[in-house]
Amino acid sequence: MKLPELKIANFTASVPIIQGGMAIRISIGALAGAVAAAGAIGVIGASGMEDEELANEIKIAREKAKGRGVIGINIMFAARNFWGVVKAAAREKIDIIFTGAGFSRDIFKFGQDNNITIVPIVSSARLAKTSERCGAAAIVVEGTEAGGHLGTDRPIRDILPEVVEAVKLPVVAAGGITTGADIVDMLKLGASGVQIATRFVLSEECNAAMPYKKRYQTATQNDIVKISSPVGLPGRALKTAFVEKILKQEAPKPVGCDFCLKNCSLEYCIIQALIRSLHGDIENGVVFSGANVWKIKDRSIKPAAKIIEELVKEAQEVS
């Protein structure tokens, strides 16, 4: 199947793939820029970043993209510095702001006032319709197969047709999409494009340390679990020693607090667990992953542009 372009507001991606924004610093400017240069939409995972740091990563992404593609950020509404990050991105004239893990009506007015495209990440037709009324340019609908924090226990194949029916906006499918055949399935269900995160962890430009990437390379279906998170939403992760402690409710309580979340259960420190994994200490951290990482046939590490090329080719081979 020949893949169509993905049009969101005034932006057009020649490849209908949004690279999912992976915090904490898993997807930064280098990855987002490489994806954009390949014709898709590159996204910086902005949650956990300071304002100046984000501004610098946006500059890096634009340099890497060389004037091609589209650059966005992803920010959790649950983050305490949500508005600081959003305003920093606006100052850098970011193309698109993707936001999930909570819902803000005010972000749409901010987007209109600052000429920034706002795309919410939702998991229901109800929130999709609300987003359309508020001024969303498109909808990312995420199923339970996604990695990281989850807003639903329903599969994307069940939710997607409901959202497509409910709104007149472009709808982007997310959650467990790892192959070109998956992309074609979503398009046939009415999606205008897809969001993929997990497969890009195995890119050269991904900022995660090698032990993090190797955990992806060795993951089996039995390694993928749902865990509780201080954010207040369940999360999907790969088994590590620390994750086993979370499952047994034996994870150590936070020592001190950076107050990174608006509301935190203090069950354990999620940001420190993610930072440890980012730097390679995966046994003392959390490694988020989509449900279908084990289905990726070739888990070698390669340029992001090559991953996109492979996804397009896989899709073209599907009738």
The whole-angstrom separation of Cα 312 and Cα 317 is 9
3-state secondary structure the chain: CCCCCEEECCEEECCCEEECCCCCCCCCHHHHHHHHHCCCEEEEECCCCCHHHHHHHHHHHHHHHCCCCEEEEEEECCECCHHHHHHHHHHCCCCEEEEECCCCCHHHHHHHHHCCEEEEEECCHHHHHHHHHHCCCCEEEECCCCCEECCCCCCHHHHHHHHHHHCCCCEEEECCCCCHHHHHHHHHCCCCEEEECHHHHCECCCCCCHHHHHHHHHCCHHHEEEECCCCCCCEEEECCHHHHHHHCCCCCCCCCCCCCECCCCCCCCHHHHHHHHHCCCHHHCCEECCCCHHHCCCCCCECHHHHHHHHHHHHHCCC
Residue 48: the pLDDT is 85
pLDDT of residue 261: 80
Per 3-state DSSP, what percentage of the chain is helix, strand, and coil (rounded to 5)? 40, 20, 40
pTM of the model: 0.94
Q: Can you give the pLDDT at residue 179?
A: 96
The pLDDT, as a whole number, for residue 124 is 95
The pLDDT value given to residue 185: 97
> How do beta strands 235-238 and 287-288 pair?
antiparallel
Torsions phi, psi for 136 (to 5 deg): -60, 145
- 52 exposure class (CB count in 10 Å sphere: 0-12, 13-18, 19+): exposed
Which pLDDT does position 96 carry in this prediction? 98
3-state secondary structure (DSSP) of residue 67: coil
pLDDT along the chain (319 residues), means of 10: 95 97 94 98 93 95 91 91 93 95 91 96 96 97 95 96 98 97 97 98 98 97 96 94 96 84 88 95 97 96 98 93
Q: Where are the domains of the chain?
A: 6-207+297-316, 210-293
Predicted pLDDT of residue 68: 83
CATH number of 6-207+297-316: 3.20.20.70
**What are 205-250's pLDDT values in tens digits?**
999 999 999 999 999 999 999 999 998 889 999 999 999 999 999 9
Q: How many CB atoms lie within 10 A of CB 35?
A: 33
Predicted confidence at residue 103, as pLDDT, reads 86
What local confidence, expressed as pLDDT, does residue 126 receive? 96
Cβ–Cβ < 8 Å for 148, 236: yes
